[in-house]
Each structure stands twice: as C-alpha cells, then as structure tokens.
C-alpha cells in the first residue's frame, strides 16, 4: 500500500515562524506542494488571529489555492466556531485536534479535556466532510510529562468514527513506544516532530506497525506556540527520500519538494531543519 503523506507546512510549519507570511504566499506554498504530487495538504488553520497571527486570513488562503486533481486539502479546527469557518471555506477535510492531557488542552485550545472531547464528538456527528482527529501530546506533554498510553487508547476508541492520528507534539517518543501505541489504538496516522532526532526512526516504526498516513512539513518547518522547546516536524522531502530509498512508492516528486524548500529558505531568510534539500537527492 502506498502511504499517504500529508504536508502540514502551510499550517503547522508556518504557525511557529516569527514572520507572518501574507495569505497569497501561503497559498503559493500549498500550490507548489500540490504540483509536487503531495496527496494531502493542511492548507490553513481556522483559529483566532490574535492567538496565532501567523494563521490570519485562512479564508483568503483557501480562495487563492489552485485546486489540483489528486490532492485533498484540509484545514485545522480547534472548536465548533473554527469548524464552521472551515466548512464554509470549501476545503475537503476537517482536521480536528484535541489534547491527551488537561493542561495542554487548556493552553492550546482554551478548553478542558471534557469540553474538547464533547466538541470533537459534535463535529463528528455534524460533519459531512471526512474528519481526521489528531490526538496531540499523545506520547508526552510539556506540562504533565509522560502520557499514559491507556488514556490515548480510550480517546482513540471514543472517536473511532474518525481517522485517528497520534501526534508526538514535543518530539519525545521512541520507536518502540510509537509501534506499541499505533498497534494498540489502530491509529491510521502519525504526526511526528524531530525534536530529539527520533522522528524518522519513529516513522519507520509506525509504518511497520500499520500506519499509512504520515504528517510531515516541507523543510522540517514547525513547532508549537504552546509547547516550550518543541522544534520542527519531520521534513517531507526527508521522509520521501527515506521511503523511496526503501522501495516504498509515495507518488511525490522529490526534486520538486527540494525546490520548494529552497524557495522557502530564501523566503524566510534562514536555513531550514531538513537535511535532504541541502544535501541533495543523490550523491551526484
């Protein structure tokens, strides 16, 4: 089975940058990723602009996207109001995120965990769009430490009508932990950060455990405004290089991804976290 790679750079990547890129530029990033053959792109975040100013103008981003056949465009919602904005924008899929811990839920979404669970269930009942539920801090929380896998399994079970993604939001997981939690929850996907340099090993472990959906970010952009010291996502081009090198087809043009990260590097004026866009796709 060909794994689905979702590039979250336009949302989870750019939300942690000090600069706020204008909506047309964020839409161009989405268009470049789609042209490279990325099957799913998280295009925007429907959150309050005063909370995450880098994501302001989500509707304008969506209007500027040049839709391509074969690409599914999703957006992030953290509450019912965000969900309504997302649906009205015309995107293809809802990504609803809730935390595995009370502390992170209050910091990230300004909701108790009980409120977040209730809101997620309401979205699942209401939505005519496919819904992905990402369980953030599934392996460790910056405020509460290690997260009980049983708590995550219970959450995944409650919300099992959705596509479930397990997020290592602060990059503390190791391959054995990832393998066990993917197997124990039957989650379809993982969202991995490379904070402690275990992200790519964790991706392989998730693949071996049966995961078929992998979030990644061009150039390794990312982090979380509410997670101290959290660094970037695994880089999309690095993950594609890893999978393709092992004979796992992704359907993505690696050279086009590299060119996109080079464009981003010039735009942001700094070296990005990814390795492959700097090293190249081959030894030649």
d(CA 179, CA 160): 19
Q: Is 224 a catalytic residue?
A: yes
Instruction: From the candidates 6, 141, 218, 224, give the one annotated as an active-site residue.
Output: 224
208 φ/ψ angles, rounded to the nearest 5 degrees: -65, -25
Q: Which of 100, 130, 129 is nearest to 116 (CA)?
A: 100
Report the alpha-carbon distance of residue 222 to residue 89 in Å, rounded.
Answer: 24
Active site residues: 224
């Amino acid at each position: 089975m060909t794994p689905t790679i979702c590039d979250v750079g336009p949302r989870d990547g750019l939300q942690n940058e000090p600069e706020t890129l204008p909506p047309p530029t964020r839409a161009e990033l989405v268009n470049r990723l789609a042209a490279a053959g990325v099957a799913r792109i998280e295009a925007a975040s429907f959150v309050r602009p005063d909370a995450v100013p880098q994501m302001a103008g989500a509707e304008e981003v969506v209007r500027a996207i040049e839709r391509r056949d074969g690409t599914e465009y999703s957006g992030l919602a953290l509450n019912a109001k965000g969900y309504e904005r997302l649906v009205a924008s015309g995107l293809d899929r809802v990504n609803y995120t809730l935390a595995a811990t009370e502390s992170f839920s209050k910091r990230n979404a300004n909701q108790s965990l009980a409120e977040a669970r209730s809101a997620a269930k309401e979205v699942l009942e209401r939505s005519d769009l496919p819904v992905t539920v990402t369980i953030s801090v599934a392996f460790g929380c910056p405020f509460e430490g290690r997260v009980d896998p049983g708590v995550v399994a219970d959450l995944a079970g409650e919300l099992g009508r959705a596509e479930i993604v397990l997020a290592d939001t602060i990059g503390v997981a190791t391959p054995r932990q990832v393998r066990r939690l993917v197997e124990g929850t039957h989650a379809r996907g993982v969202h991995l950060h490379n904070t402690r340099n275990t992200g790519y090993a964790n991706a392989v472990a998730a693949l071996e455990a049966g995961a078929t959906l992998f979030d990644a970010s061009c150039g390794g952009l990312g982090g979380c405004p509410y997670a101290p010291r959290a660094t970037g996502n695994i880089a999309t081009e690095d993950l594609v290089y890893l999978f393709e090198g092992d004979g796992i087809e992704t359907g993505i043009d690696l050279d086009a991804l590299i060119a996109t990260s080079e464009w981003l590097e010039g735009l942001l004026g700094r070296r990005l976290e990814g390795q492959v866009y700097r090293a190249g796709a081959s030894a030649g």
